[in-house]
Chains A and B, each alone.
Chain A
Amino acid sequence: MATPTVTKAGTDVDILSGLRRKSDIGGVLFRWLLLGSLLFTLVVLVVLLGQVLIDGWPILGSRLGDFLSTGLGSKPETSGIVQGLRGTFYLCLITAVVAFPLGIASAIYLEEYATRGKFATFIDLNIRNLAGVPSVVYGILGLTIFVKGPGIGAITGGSTPFAAGLTLACLVLPVVIITSAEAIRGVPTQLREAGVGVGATKWQVIKDHVLPYAAPGILTGTLLSVARAAGEAAPLILIGSVTGFMSGHPAWWDVGQVRESFTAMPIVITAWARQPQEGFKVDNAAAAIVILILFVLLLNSAAVVLRNRFEKRREG
């Protein structure tokens, strides 16, 4: 920091020593208190990860392959998470397919087309408000519109991955819009001016210059939103995801299952954690958590790495 330092006593710099207080115990303590809070958070994270690893180890260490490939059952020793994995996979897929184009197009509209009028301000406020709506309320939306809505319910087939995916798409839409809009805002104006200057139309400038430049930022936001969707449980409970036993055992690539009853990783974890039996409650739940965390952290770290590279490129 910028505090003056006295190099040698008795030299002409010595005048400064009168100005310098001897020690700043309060300041040092304050600094350590702040750092301590951050380190405490780190410790909590380490304890959390350690606890689930230790709890899940009996399964992860002995029958991981079996755990990943068998379905839900009535005994902890023979239960697996394959239905949860498949459910979460299809949920993420549907969420991404619906929310990305909608969200990115909204962001393009807000940043490139909308004039600073009442309509744009209203949309903007609305999006920020949507981002704060509790996820369980999105579950009500999903239940009323996508599961039971006249017409829509017949298309989605009721409590299915299709309906749940659409609900999660609504849930992450504000996140996709906000992060994409930020990325687009970061594109230098000169890039657009240069494009228009050589005769490109607005859409050509957006498609060929703005979007490629903003792509890493947009991708970061979309990856984070998929991670968010993968970890959400509350809306799925409201929609009527299966929390008990499931007989259906379709293959991974059987697309027809998006219109069948379903479960998902967070739901499997919740159901197991609430069981009275130790085997389900501890071993199975923790093992499933480890798998879910691995998946979510993989997406998150991909997003962080992308963003760091993106920032470096801009600086360089």
Chain B
Amino acid sequence: MTTTAWDISTLRGDVRRQRKERRVKVIMSAAASASILVSVLIIYSLVLEALAFILEVDYATLIDIGWFPRRGIFDLRTIVAATLIVTMIAMVVAAPLGLAAAVYLSEYAAPRTRKILKPVLEILAGVPSVVLGYFALRFIAPNIITNLFSSAKPANLAAAGVGVGLLTIPLIASIAEDALTAVPRSLREASSGLGARKKTTTLRIVLPAAISGLTAAFIVATSRAIGETMVVYIAGGAADSAIQTYNPLEPGLTMTAAMASVASGTDNVAGMGLTFQSLFFVGFLLFLMTMTMNLIADRFVRRFRQEY
């Protein structure tokens, strides 16, 4: 038996083992870079054709009677207005319901009640958006919207907006609940200690303390509502073109639904020049809008993470 010389390299272990460690690290970091590659590819796919659209389009057609991409009329006001209408209605539905659900679950519900009620939101979150589209078209539009407003068309933006709202309730509730649970217990105890009632503590102490997280919840939900496609595509009532309107009781096309319509005109996504390129231009606008909102929301989330 020979004696081996021990030095620091012995502790480091077998060379093959070290090499394997390095290889694993390289593989993992390569995988992590994949997400950056996805971002780069998204921007690449949007920018080229969007730029071509901006360079080629006749600017007069961007402000016209409506969105008729197949006739070369691209009135941006039509689809932007429809997007804002749908998003606003969605938020009017989702913000109070989602926030109230979050407050109840985080401040009032006993653990057992929570266990029963929380899955309701989780199931709703799992319902695919095409299903909400069908529900908006088949139930919300005929039973609710046309009953409330007799002038409403059978398929309209308002019904689609309510559908999108239902879809975003779980999202608001989940982010808002995170924000509320992050508020330290000591604040609630101090408030109760001063004699405040539960309601006062909730409204005056907990909600203001969680305000940055709640703001983030609303911004993320708004961004999600802007980007929602299928509900409006199914329930919005416009086939592939829309006359300009600011009336939520009329049919309409949002930016996303307009994109889906351009793409689904034929089974093969192709088509002549500008019509096809408008898809990318609208997509690019959409990407910029949602990214800005997500970045702002991210700031707010980080603020509540830092505070507590």
B10 within 8 A of A: no
User: Are B260 and A136 interface neighbours, CB within 8 A?
Assistant: yes
Q: Is B305 an interface residue (CB 8 A)?
A: no
Instruction: Tell me how many residues of B have a C-beta within 8 Å of chain A.
Output: 89
Residues on the A chain within 8 Å of B220, using CB: 132
Known: A133-B287, A136-B227. A270 touches B45 (CB 8 A): no
Q: Does A15 contact B (CB under 8 A)?
A: no
Q: Complex Cα distance A126/B220, Å?
A: 15
Which residues from A are CB-within-8-Å of B124? 41, 44-45
Q: Which of chain A's residues have a CB closer than 8 A to the CB of B55?
A: none
- B21 is an interface residue with CB less than 8 A from chain A: yes
Bound CA span A203–B21, Å: 6
For the complex formed, measure the closest distance between the CB of B198 and the CB atoms of chain A, giving whole angstroms. 6
- A136–B229 Cα distance when bound, in Å, is 7
Q: A85 at interface (Cβ–Cβ under 8 A)?
A: no
**In the complex where A30-B199, A125-B298 touch, is A140 in contact with B45 (Cβ < 8 A)?**
yes
When chains A and B are docked, how far (Å) is the Cα of A233 from the Cα of B105? 32
Q: Looking across the interface, which residue of chain B has its beta carbon closest to that of A224?
A: B126
Q: How far is the CA of A38 from the CA of B99 in the complex (A)?
A: 10
B41-61: contact bitstring with A at CB < 8 Å (1 yes, 0 no)?
110111001000000000000
A83 within 8 A of B: no
Interface string of A32-43 (1 = CB under 8 A from B): 011111101110
- Whether A234 contacts B32 in the complex (CB less than 8 A), given A30-B199, A144-B45, comes out as no
The bracket for how many chain A residues form the interface is 35 or more
Cβ of A12 under 8 Å from chain B: no
Which of B68-76, B132-140, B245-253 contacts the other chain? B132-140
Q: Is the C-beta of A282 less than 8 angstroms from some C-beta in chain B?
A: yes
Q: List chain B residues, Cβ under 8 A from A201.
A: 13, 17, 20-21
Residue A91 at the B interface, CB < 8 A? no
A289 close to B131 (CB less than 8 A): yes
Across-interface contacts of A35 in B (CB, < 8 A) = 104, 108
**Among B38, B117, B122, B263, contact of A38 (Cβ-Cβ < 8 Å):** B117
A108 to chain B minimum Cβ distance, whole angstroms, is: 5
Chain B interface (Cβ within 8 Å of chain A)? Answer: 13, 17, 20-21, 24-25, 27-29, 31-36, 38-39, 41-42, 44-46, 49, 96-97, 100-101, 103-105, 108, 117, 119-124, 126-135, 137-139, 166, 169, 192, 197-199, 202-203, 220, 223-224, 226-230, 233-234, 256, 259-260, 263-264, 267-269, 279-280, 283, 286-287, 290-291, 293-295, 297-298
